[in-house]
Chain A
């Protein structure tokens, strides 16, 4: 097999001698801070940046006895669905090395699928844990917003993102979530519902009497082979005693547009910090100057560093976000996107009154061929149709392998109510 390029930095960080993850290796996405170990976010902007502190999740991994065996490759700042926007080159899908592993946590999923790490952490802003899990044939969980501390996660879109586990099995993914979940005084958005959790115990495969809602809108336009594999998996669950009901969620048709307006707006603000002064690529290096005095004034120097440090997808999102927030357009785009977010939340609340969990294909398409999506950003954005509604609604979701279509993995996504991690873990474990 060719080199997968799953890691940006391969360096071992040893954890405590014992604990629930003793003897396990964990690949950590390269937007999660590791004290003394380079953390690049897949960007030239942060090449060489060495955090002076650990993210809370890294502290928890170490305390649980895990060995971190490297920093996993990713789309630059998490902006992508293929891991091809990384400044450090694309990661290959171990299932088929002509294809992308999904993204943005593609290195994390590829490392687990190839056995290069036992477990991995990714981050999920609009599907970045679930998409690569689906494309690589492994399990990924996007926890309820607030369940896992984001302290030390380099921010892309704060109101949407969560750190989540990737593992070969549902039980192992749930076990890793048990390690990282729980309140953290350094992230005021965390909640205590995850304290002392035992999600792994819920992986008992018991779906007798479980009601699964299928939103028709999340099957529309999906690839035929994907849809077929999805229904086969649903049939399997029904044979195990689950019931299926169709639910309607008209709002999700606006989810991609709402997601990109909100994520890009937040990104334009979050990424304003990268100006090369305190950390990151400096104007002197970026502009090949002898001295900072040659770089021009404050604005010119920052613009030089940012032109050189950011790749095209990051620039696109910063610019579109700046535009969506600019005078005259804020009400038209940003305020409307917030309305759509509220509408989507209400649709989920109503659907989850009729069903215990909702199910859909994680990705509407099989893994892209390398290079296929880079030409047309809009087509890439539409591939996130089934994952972004979950982030907009702050809900938990899991992607579990449902089978194959034309030899390529298909992921099935279960979406649960707020703090319903046990329910989605239980449902997903019935498909293994």
Chain B
């Protein structure tokens, strides 16, 4: 999205982000999203005016002992998978 004041969003840019996010889109979606993203990104641009604020988040580490305990059985873990083989999840080929 270009460097101008108003971000102009092209279909090509929408397709690039969709590719990164692993979501296929049809042509109609690409066109509609390009238009809608322009308005939303214009709102996001206004964050440029936000002052820098010193903040010290009160975070604490939460630790526990790493102990073996009951979990799902193999059968339970596979129960919602559409594709399984020999007790394993079956995924698509890697390349």
Could you list which residues of chain A lie within 8 angstroms of chain B, going by C-beta atoms?
A: 48-50, 52-53, 185, 188-189, 251, 254, 256-258, 260-261, 268, 272, 275-285, 292-293, 295-304, 306-307, 310, 312, 315-316, 318-320, 322-324, 326, 332-333, 336-337, 339-340, 342-343, 345-346, 377-378, 381
Known interface pairs A260-B40, A306-B22; A296-B46 also in contact (CB < 8 Å)? no
A319 lies within 8 A of B46 (CB): no
A254 lies within 8 A of B47 (CB): yes
B95 lies within 8 A of A322 (CB): no
| Chain B contact residue count (CB 8 A cutoff) | 48
| Interface check B76, CB cutoff 8 A | yes
Known interface pairs A52-B76, A278-B80, A315-B29; A306-B92 also in contact (CB < 8 Å)? no
A342 lies within 8 A of B24 (CB): no
**How far is A167 from B15 in the complex, measured between Cα atoms in Å?**
44
| Interface check B94, CB cutoff 8 A | yes
**How far is A272 from B20 in the complex, measured between Cα atoms in Å?**
11
B92 lies within 8 A of A260 (CB): no
- A258 contacts which chain B residues (CB < 8 A)? 47, 50
- A185 contacts which chain B residues (CB < 8 A)? 64
Looking at the complex, which one of B51, B72, B95 makes contact with A343 (CB distance below 8 Å)?
B51
Closest to A187 in B: B62
- B36 contacts which chain A residues (CB < 8 A)? 316, 377-378
- The smallest beta-carbon distance between B59 and chain A, in angstroms, is 10
Interface residues of B in 56-92 (CB under 8 A from A): 62, 64, 72, 76-77, 79-83, 89-92
**How far is A332 from B50 in the complex, measured between Cα atoms in Å?**
11
Could you list which residues of chain B lie within 8 angstroms of chain A, going by C-beta atoms?
A: 1, 14, 17-26, 29, 33, 36-37, 39-41, 43-44, 46-55, 62, 64, 72, 76-77, 79-83, 89-95
Most buried by B among A188, A251, A257, A332: A257
- The smallest beta-carbon distance between A51 and chain B, in angstroms, is 8
Which 6 residue pairs spanning A and B have beta carbons closest together? A282-B82, A301-B92, A342-B55, A279-B80, A307-B24, A336-B47
Known interface pairs A282-B82, A378-B39; A322-B47 also in contact (CB < 8 Å)? no
- A299 contacts which chain B residues (CB < 8 A)? 22
Known interface pairs A282-B83, A297-B95; A339-B21 also in contact (CB < 8 Å)? no
**How far is A53 from B71 in the complex, measured between Cα atoms in Å?**
10
Given contacts A277-B90, A284-B82, 14 further A-B contacts (CB under 8 A): A257-B44, A275-B22, A302-B92, A303-B19, A307-B25, A315-B25, A319-B21, A322-B17, A322-B20, A326-B20, A333-B47, A336-B50, A339-B51, A378-B40
Known interface pairs A256-B43, A261-B47, A378-B39; A319-B92 also in contact (CB < 8 Å)? no
A307 lies within 8 A of B52 (CB): no
- The smallest beta-carbon distance between A395 and chain B, in angstroms, is 14
**How far is A336 from B17 in the complex, measured between Cα atoms in Å?**
20
B93 lies within 8 A of A298 (CB): yes
- The smallest beta-carbon distance between A271 and chain B, in angstroms, is 9
A50 lies within 8 A of B79 (CB): yes
**How far is A337 from B21 in the complex, measured between Cα atoms in Å?**
21
**How far is A282 from B1 in the complex, measured between Cα atoms in Å?**
33
Closest to B80 in A: A279
- A324 contacts which chain B residues (CB < 8 A)? 44
Looking at the complex, which one of B53, B77, B90 makes contact with A339 (CB distance below 8 Å)?
B53
B23 lies within 8 A of A307 (CB): yes
